Amino acid sequence: YIKYGSFIPLSESDVLEHLKKTSSSDLSSRLVKTTYRHIYTRGFMVTYNKHNLRLEDLSTLEDQNWLNDQIINMYGELIMDVAEQKVHFFNSFFYKQLVAKGYDGVKRWTKKVDLFSKWLLLIPIHLEIHWSLIAITMATKTISYYDSQGIVFRHTTNNIMKYLQSEAREKKQAAFQKGWKIAIIKGIPQQKNDSDCGVFVLEYCRRLSVKQPLLFSQNNMPQIRKRIYKELCDRRLND
C-alpha cells in the first residue's frame, strides 16, 4: 500500500520479490508465476462507466512501460467527471477513425454531446508509437498542440480544424465555422526517455482541465504513474 497506494499488486515481479523475502521455502519461479496468474489476475477488474481495466492494463503503468488505450480512455473519463462536463475528452481511437473515414465516420461519436457548450476539448493523438495531445479552447477557438518530445505533426491540427468546421456545419453553429487558430505550445515539460509520452499526455490533460500550470518534469514520472494507478483503482481523481 505504501509503495503503490493500493493493496492490489502491480505486477507479478512484485509478488516474486515479496515471496523471496518472506518465504522460508525455495519456491520455484514457475510455481509463483502460475499462482500469481490464477489468484491475483483471475477475475480482477476495475469498471467505470463503459470502461474495464484488468491487471494487464494497469501493469502498463509499471516502470517505463507504454500506456495502452484502456488506461488513456478511462483516465479521460475521470477527468470529464471532475470538470463537471465542461470538458470533453475524446476516445483515443477517435483520431484514427477520423483519418481513416473522414467526418462521416465519426459524426455519430458526438450525437449526444454538444461540443460547443464545452470550454475545453481534449484529443489524445496516437501516431505509431508516440502519444501527443490536441487541446481546444472553445472560447477563443484555439487548437493547441502539446508534445512531450517537441515533435510537431501539423497535419493533425489541420485535420482537427476541418473536423470542427464540419461539426459546426452539422450542428448549425455558424460562429464556429470559421476563425479557428492553431498554436504549437512550446516551453512545456518534456520527457527524457522513449516511454513516458502517454503519462505526459495524461498529466497535460489533468492539469489543463482544472486550469493548473504545467509544473512537473521527467523526475516526477514515477510518482505520477503511481498516482494515476491509484486514481484508476479508486475511480476518481485525487485532490
Q: E strands along 128-225, which residues?
A: 130-137, 142-146, 181-184
Find the catalytic residue in 130, 155, 194, 196: 130
Phi-psi region of 152 (alpha: psi -120 to 50; beta: other; left: phi over 0): beta
Work out the number of other CB atoms within 10 angstroms of the CB of residue 65. 16
Find the catalytic residue in 57, 126, 197, 205: 197
Q: Are 125 and 153 in contact (CB under 8 A)?
A: yes
Find the catalytic residue in 88, 126, 147, 196: 147
Active site residue 38: no
For residue 202, which of 73, 82, 111, 99 has the smallest C-alpha distance? Answer: 73
Sign of the alpha-carbon dihedral angle for 174, 205, 80, 159: positive
Residue 104's SS3 state is: helix
Active site residue 130: yes
Residue 124's SS3 state is: strand
Place of cell 495502452: 68
Active site residue 147: yes
What cell numbers appear for 176 in the block? 464556429
Catalytic residues: 130, 147, 197
